[in-house]
Structure formats: structure tokens, C-alpha cells
Amino acid sequence: MFYYLEGIVTITGQNLAVIDIGGAGYACMTTLGTLSRLETGKKSRLYTYCNIKEDAFDIYGFFDLSEKRCFEHLLGVSGVGPKAALSILSANTPESLALAVISDDEAALTAAPGIGKKLAARIILELKDKVSKGADALRSSGYSAPRGDGGQPGQKQRDAAAALAVLGYSQGEISAAMRGIDISSMSVEEIIREVLKNSVKQ
């Protein structure tokens, strides 16, 4: 099983990037977001998910681990296959998808080609159980969130933790990531983006 593929980007197309490694071209199906960050003729690394079946060996590649992680969690939803997950992540970034789940924003999911209202509702429903884990992550770990004008911990910190849980982050990971970020003046999406950026540094 491949963890990542690193080589020269030789071909890009619709949801496709070909990575040349030692003269062999590996076809990776990918998202519009990943494609926008690749340059033909330049070296790049894609983190991979392999879908192996009797009649196929499909490779899905992602520019960073947060996108791959989100892809894998979408696959855990009943009725969501690799093509549907790829479509959703081409229409949404990991952070915007997580925010859509915690805010019941079906429109953000149905904006992806091939995703209807019924499937969007199921995705939100099945990922919602992660929200409660994320919402409790800071309290259970002993993290003390900055206090807002009313003297209570900010709701945006709890929302960010919930969204990160949707993306598959554990309570320990969320707590550790929050401690390293000055979140007092940041929006929920900025907090999520900062955590994701820090978590994928290798």
C-alpha cells in the first residue's frame, strides 16, 4: 500500500494527475483543490488512498493529509463511494465541509455534482456523532479557552473543535493543536485552517 507518491507531475486533467516516478507514470484521481496546487513538470508529493477491487486498482492522491483524512471519513458514510467523496471535496475544502456538517448546510454538499439532498442529509447525520466528541474535547482535556466579552468560553472555539472532530481529529489532537494557536481574534474557519496547516507539516 502506498502512503504517498513523490515525483514529477507529467499530466493533469479532469480530476487526474499523473506522477512520474523512475519512468513509471502513476495515475492519481484527485480533487480540483489538489490540481490547482500542482504544476506540470515540477516535482510534487501526493498522499494516497488505494481502492483495490477484483477488477481495479485505483489510486486517489491528495496534496495534503487533511484532505486525504477528510476523504477517508466521507467513505465511512453509507452510500458514499470514492467518486462521490472526490466530488464533494472538489466543491469544498476540508474546513468548509466540516463547517457545513456542524451547521447542517446541505446546500454546500449538493453543490458537488452527483450529490443529491438525500445523500447530503445522510452525510451530515452520520458525521454528526463526531461533533459531540469535538465539542467536549477542550473541556475533557483541561484546556482553558480564551474568554469572550461575557466572561464565558467562546462558542467559536467549541465550533472549531467540533468541526475538527468531523475531520477525524481525536480529542487529544484537538486539544494540543488549540494550545498552540492564538485564537482570540480568529474566526472559526481561520482556527480550523491554522490547525490543518500545522498538522500536515512533515
Distance CA 30, CA 65 (A): 13
Tens digit of pLDDT for each residue in 92-150? Answer: 998 889 888 888 999 999 999 999 999 999 999 888 765 555 555 545 555 444 444 33
Instruction: Give the C-alpha separation, 135 to 140, whole Å.
Output: 10
Longest dimension (CA), the chain: 62
C-alpha cell at 151: 466572561
Q: What is the pLDDT of residue 177?
A: 78
pLDDT, tens only, 134-159: 555 545 555 444 444 333 346 777 88
Cell 472549531 sits on residue: 160
CB 73 within 8 A of CB 166: yes
Same domain, 56 and 96: no
Measure the CA–CA gap between 143 and 53, rounded to whole angstroms. Answer: 44
Q: What residues have CB less than 8 Å from 55, skipping those under 6 apart?
A: none
- pLDDT attached to residue 131: 56
| Residues 143, 100 within the same domain | yes
Question: Above 50 in pLDDT, residue 78?
Answer: yes
70 and 165 share one domain = yes
Same domain, 101 and 171: yes
Give yes or no: residues 71 and 53 share one domain.
Answer: no
Are 185 and 112 part of one and the same domain?
yes
Domain with 157, as residue range(s), is 66-199
Residue 162 has pLDDT above 90, yes or no: no
Residue identified by cell 467518486 is 83
Q: Are residues 48 and 77 in the same domain?
A: no
Residue 183's pLDDT is: 76
- Domain boundary (63, 85, 109) is at 63
Number of domains in the chain: 2
Give yes or no: residues 34 and 76 share one domain: no
Handedness of CA 157, 126, 103, 48 (dihedral sign): positive
Please, are residues 65 and 47 in contact by the beta-carbon 8 Å criterion?
yes
The larger pLDDT score, comparing residue 57 to residue 197, is at: 57
98 shares its domain with 170: yes
> Which residue type, as a one-letter code, is found at position 192?
I
Cβ 98 vs Cβ 104: under 8 Å: no
CATH of the domain at 47: 2.40.50.140
pLDDT in tens, 12-43: 999 999 999 999 999 999 999 999 999 999 99
